[in-house]
A and B are shown apart, each in its own frame.
Chain A
Amino acid sequence: MKNVWAIYRKEMGHYFVSPIAYVFIGLFLILSAFFFNFFLTAVIQQSLSAEMEGMRFGMSQNIDVPSEVMRAFFGLLSTLVLFITPILTMGVYAEERKRGTMELLMTSPITETDIVLGKFFASFSLFALMLLPTLSYLIFMYLRSDPMPPWRVLFAGYAGILLLGASLTALGTFISSLTENQIIAAVLTFAAFLLVWVLDIGRNASGAVASVLTYLSVIRHYEDFTRGIIDTSGLVYYFSFIFLFVFLTIRSVDSMRWRRA
Chain B
Amino acid sequence: MIEVQDLTKAYGSVTAVDHVSFSVKKGEILGFLGPNGAGKTTTMRILTGFMPATSGTAKIGGFDVFNDSLEVRRHIGYLPEAPPVYPDMSVETYLDFVARIKNVPAEKRPGLIADALQKTGLSDKRHELIKRLSRGYKQRVGIAQALVHDPDVIILDEPTVGLDPKQIIEVRHLIKSLAGTHTIILSTHILPEVSMTCDRVVIINKGKIAAVDTPQNLTNQLKAGQRVRLEVSAPEASLREALGQVAGARRVQVESHSDGHLSANVEAEPGKDIRSALAAKVIEKGWPLFELRGVTLSLEDIFLQLTTDDSSHAQATN
Contacts and interface: CB of A to CB of B under 8 A. Distances in A.
Given A10-B97, A17-B89, A261-B11, A109 B70 contact: yes
Interface string A1-27: 011001101100110011000000000
A260 B97 contact: no
Given A6-B97, A103-B80, A257 B88 contact: no
A18 B131 CA distance: 12
Given A104-B98, A109-B102, A111-B70, A257 B52 contact: yes
Contacts of B12: 261
Contacts of B74: 109
Contact of A3 (B76, B82, B101): B101
A202 B76 CA distance: 56
A101 interface: yes
Interface residues on A, range: 20 to 34
Given A101-B84, A103-B84, A108 B52 contact: no
Residue from the set B12, B48, B101 with the largest chain A CB neighbour count within 10 Å: B101
A140 interface: no
Interface residues of B, number: 32
B100 interface: yes
Contacts of A13: 88-89, 93
Interface in A15-41: 17-18
A107 B78 contact: yes
Contacts of B101: 3, 6-7, 104-105, 108-110
Interface string B1-32: 00000000001100000000000000000000
A106 interface: yes
Nearest to B69: A109
Given A6-B97, A14-B88, A109-B74, A104 B145 contact: yes
A218 B91 CA distance: 42
B88 A18 contact: yes
A257 B49 CA distance: 9
B50 A17 contact: no
A58 interface: no
A13 B74 CA distance: 24
14 contacts: A6-B100, A9-B97, A14-B86, A104-B78, A107-B48, A107-B50, A108-B73, A108-B98, A109-B70, A109-B102, A110-B101, A110-B103, A257-B50, A260-B51
Interface of A: 2-3, 6-7, 9-10, 13-14, 17-18, 99-101, 103-111, 257-258, 260-261
